[in-house]
Amino acid sequence: MLVFNPLNANYPEPVNSYQEEVFDFCLQWKLGKKEFLFHTSGSTGKPKPIYLSRLAMIESANMTRDWLNLQEGDNILLCLPIEYIAGAMMLVRALVLKLNIVLVEPSQNPLESIKKPINIHLASFVTTQWSTILQSNANLFTLFSEVKGILIGGSELTSSVELLTKEIQLPIFQTYGMTETSSHIAFRLISSEDTIYQCLKSVEIKLNDQGCLCINSPGTLNQWIETNDVAELIHENQFSLLGRKDFVINSGGRKIHPELIEKSCQSFFAQHSIFFKIFAYGLHDDFYGQKLVLFIETKDEFVFQLQLLDYLKLNLESWEVPKQFIVLPEFLCTKSGKIDQPNTLTLYLNNL
């Protein structure tokens, strides 16, 4: 763990490559670099390079300041890779808003590396980190008693993890955003009972002809960005997510959002206090066109198949029930912690 002010003239000697990357980014920023290269997460395909302007990131940092009332001198926890937007924007917020950085090398449970008492006012985790932190039974209030926001991003929480999170009396938010929007543009308070996202101030949203969310915000320099996320507009600044357009499965003429099937499965797991990584996918099929299957990660036999099948038949339409369960000992993951579906699928097909 290292605590430092990124606006200081001199930094300590780096002890690992992560600290070198962080210090180099800060130096480039202070030298006035106008544009920064990032890559998308790669969960739906090959990561794409995206250049973001300094001004867009400054605007995004100011939006977060206004949302969470961040103040000069607040401590923020940085424990994410900075080649992705979530980690880089924690740095930018510190540089723009004059915040102190609590720097911890990325790991599944970064809190284990914090050995000294410190009040953290802002933290950001990917879902796999947050799940690991909860399973560790760490006393979160020793670090977060004055926290203004714990941000969870990258992918939706599973039902079981969300239930555990709801029990924690802290401001914990699931955020929505992407590289193109310079990080989050909307949030939902996990302790609330609904799954509706609230946009940050000055963010505009609409749907395109395919029902996908479009975003206009200071973090996009007031340019409209089209996403691949199919959404439902609840209000002019509120929306709920249905799934990704590029994940939609066309099975026998029925369009199926795999995310909805995954949520139903996770609800079953939560009721039985079990946890499995899963993803629904449409495999090529001569009869259906695409056959809905459910991939399950476990090194052991999946003994809940019949119970899960009965549950899904009761809670889903008949065409939304997976035609097959496929058990794999391990899923491949991207650097940002998301399930790498394309490469996991390729590995499975190559081993048939």
The tens digit of pLDDT for each residue in 204-258 reads: 999 999 999 999 999 999 999 999 999 999 999 999 998 888 888 989 888 899 9
User: Of 245, 277, 301, which residue sits at a domain end?
Assistant: 245
What is the Cα–Cα distance from 126 to 200, expressed in whole angstroms?
20
Supply the pLDDT for residue 144. 96
Beta bridge partners of 325: 294
Supply the range of the domain harboring residue 270.
248-350
Kindly write down the DSSP assignment for every residue of 69-94, as one continuous string.
Answer: T--TT-EEEE-S-TTSHHHHHHHHHH
Q: Which of 182, 216, 245 is the last residue of a domain?
A: 245
User: Are residues 19 and 79 located together in one domain of the fold?
Assistant: yes
Same domain assignment for residues 239 and 254: no
Number of domains in the chain: 2
Fill in the amino acid letter for 53.
Answer: S
Are residues 152 and 75 located together in one domain of the fold? yes
Q: Give the chain's residues under pLDDT 70.
A: 41-46, 336
- Could you give the CA distance from residue 156 to residue 161 in angstroms, rounded to a whole number? 10
Same domain, 222 and 278: no
Q: How far apart are CA 278 and CA 169, in angstroms?
A: 28
Express each pLDDT in 182-216 by its tens digit: 999 999 999 987 889 999 999 999 999 999 999 99
Residues 6 or more apart whose CB falls under 8 angstroms from that of 31 comprise none
The last residue of one of the domains, among 210, 245, 280, is: 245
- The CATH number of whichever domain residue 252 belongs to comes to 3.30.300.30
Residues 206 and 296 in one domain: no
Please report the pLDDT score of residue 160 as a whole number: 83
Please indicate, yes or no, whether residues 214 and 157 belong to a single structural domain of this protein: yes
* Statement to judge: residues 206 and 345 lie in one domain: no
Structural tokens at position 21: 């990357």
Q: What is the 3-state secondary structure (H, E, C) of 172-203?
A: EEEEEEEHHHCEEEEEEECCCCCCCEEECCCC
Tell me how far CA of residue 79 lies from CA of 91, 103, 126, 305, in angstroms. 10, 6, 10, 37
The torsion angles phi and psi of 203, rounded to 5 degrees, stand at: -90, 130
The b/e string for 139-152 (b: 16+ C-beta within 10 A; e otherwise) is: ebeebbeebbbbbb
At 41 the pLDDT is: 65
Please state, in angstroms and rounded to a whole number, the distance separating the CA atoms of residues 151 and 156.
Answer: 12
Tell me which DSSP letter residue 206 carries: E
Q: What is the CATH number of the domain that holds 173?
A: 3.40.50.12780
Same domain, 177 and 86: yes
Is the pTM above the cut of 0.85?
A: no
| 84 and 25 housed in the same domain | yes
CB 173 within 8 A of CB 158: no
Do residues 144 and 173 share a domain? yes
| Together in a domain, 143 and 282 | no
281 shares its domain with 227 = no
